[in-house]
Amino acid sequence: MALVRKLPMKKMGLDTFGQLAENLSNSILAKGSESTRIDIIFDVYKKSSIKQMERAQRSSSEEITITIRSDNQKLPVNLDMFWSSMLNKVRLQEYVYKWMLENVVSEKEIIFGGVYGGECRKLLAGTETQITELSSSQEEANDRIMFHINDSVVKHGVKSVLVDSPDTDVLVNLIFHFKKTWQLQKLFVKLGNRRNKKTVPVHLLVDQLDNNLVLCLPAIHALSGCDSTSKVGPKLSGMKSSMDLSLLAGFGVEELSPQMISNAEKFLVSGLKKTDCSTFDEYRWEQYHNSKKELNFNQLVCCSSTLREHIKRAYLQCRMWLQAPTPEVTKPDPCQYGYRATDVGIIPVILPVPSRPDDLPPPCKCPTSCISNKTCICRGMKIKCVVFCGCSKGKKCRDPHN
């Protein structure tokens, strides 16, 4: 679906669904003109899945639902509203598949992965064949790509693969599985948009990367922010040569443990800024107390309790990535890994523990010594000053309640 959405439909003068399917088909065949096999990978859309909830949250438009009845049917004027509907995407994928089945006659194998809820079909010389060994329970096309590459390498002896995907998740997993899983000679990936397209030789890139970094790359990407997890600091911070990659040992592979969560938190703290802190709570205090400008709580990094839920979600995503080359993945209960079930679906747990009680008085802003009940909030409320008070940066505090 990513390739479809990248098409500049209006600039290309595409008015009907038939024109869209024809243009997309020609584009795919042209890109695979030098290949012996073309794999077209579709997403599988499940209404109550984590991925679908993420898509719904990212959508900024109301949705319209359209039934595609003929090749001459006009494309919707508002494409954003069209893409907001999960049902529209499913119908468009099935329409494109049927259109190519009826109109494309090629002596080259064309594999369709993820049609009809997870099935796999092969089109060869105008004949359709179902391929049961390529059926999969995987939901995301990003993961299915790894499975299809694995099939082509292991069962068919393919030595060179080109992947056309703009997704960083795909690049990270291609780097990891090229090193650990596949016996490929060459692996290329096309990245960027149509204006800034570039082809990256993954096989050469892997040779330039430290082996330990490659093995930890899925964990780093999931923890620092990917399609399904929130961003935590600059991405490149996780690539520093000084980072202790041993903190990520077993992440996504072994069962998640309190020690693994603690290590992941320490890894993320070290990636934010030069600090001796080992938890986000410690860094949050340091960030507030040592700031040269006045900060409020909303400008601080998240609490450790919130971050640990994020780490659980990152672990779940990493575990799914590591299983990507296999057809049937074992997916743990999301509610045990940073999500909760609601009436509208599965959503992330954001703040399991309040970071600041509602009745907590604000710290005083006394510049020096808290000498007046009228100007000092703490003295006026008959409570002691704390490290967040302004007086902690000046001379000795005179609050009698300390």
Confidence of residue 242 (pLDDT cuts 50, 70, 90): low
What tokens were used for 14? Answer: 């595409």
Angle at 121 between CA 119 and CA 122, to 5 degrees: 160
What pLDDT is attached to residue 80? Answer: 79
* Residue 122 Cα distances to 18, 109, 127, 162, 389, angstroms: 21, 7, 8, 19, 69
* HSE-up of residue 379 (Cα within 13 Å, Cβ side): 15
State the average pLDDT over residues 167-180: 92
For residue 77, the number of C-alpha atoms closer than 13 Å in the C-beta half-sphere is 0
State the Cα–Cα distance between residues 25 and 286, nearest whole angstrom: 56
- The full length of the chain comes to 402
pLDDT digits (tens, 9 = 90+) for 292-346: 666 666 777 888 999 999 999 999 999 999 999 988 888 889 999 999 888 877 8
Question: What's the whole-model pTM score?
Answer: 0.83
| Alpha carbons 158 and 24: distance in angstroms, whole number | 25
Q: What is the pLDDT of residues 375-389, one digit of tens each?
A: 889 988 988 887 778
57 vs 315, which has greater pLDDT? 315
For the record, the structure tokens of 146 come out as 């790894």
Give residue 129's identity as a one-letter amino acid code. Answer: T
3-state secondary structure of 267: helix
Mutual orientation of helices 304-322 and 280-289 as an angle, nearest 10°? 130
Q: Cα dihedral sign for 164, 169, 175, 181?
A: negative
Q: How far apart are the first and last CA of the chain?
A: 63
Q: How confident is the model at residue 395 (pLDDT cuts 50, 70, 90)?
A: low
pLDDT digits (tens, 9 = 90+) for 253-269: 999 999 999 999 999 98
How many whole angstroms separate alpha carbon 142 and alpha carbon 167?
Answer: 8
Sign of CA dihedral 21, 111, 114, 193: negative
Q: Where are the domains of the chain?
A: 1-135, 361-402
pLDDT for the residue 292: 64
Higher pLDDT, 156 or 298: 156
Name which of 87, 97, 150 is nearest 121 in CA terms. Answer: 97
d(CA 379, CA 192): 59
Nearest to 332 by CA among 342, 322, 145: 322
Long-range contacts of 209-215 (CB under 8 A, 24+ apart): 209/175, 211/179, 212/245, 213/239, 213/245, 214/175, 214/176, 214/179, 214/180, 215/176, 215/179, 215/180
pLDDT of residue 1: 65
- Return the pLDDT at 123: 87
Distance between CA atoms of 82 and 67, rounded to whole angstroms?
11
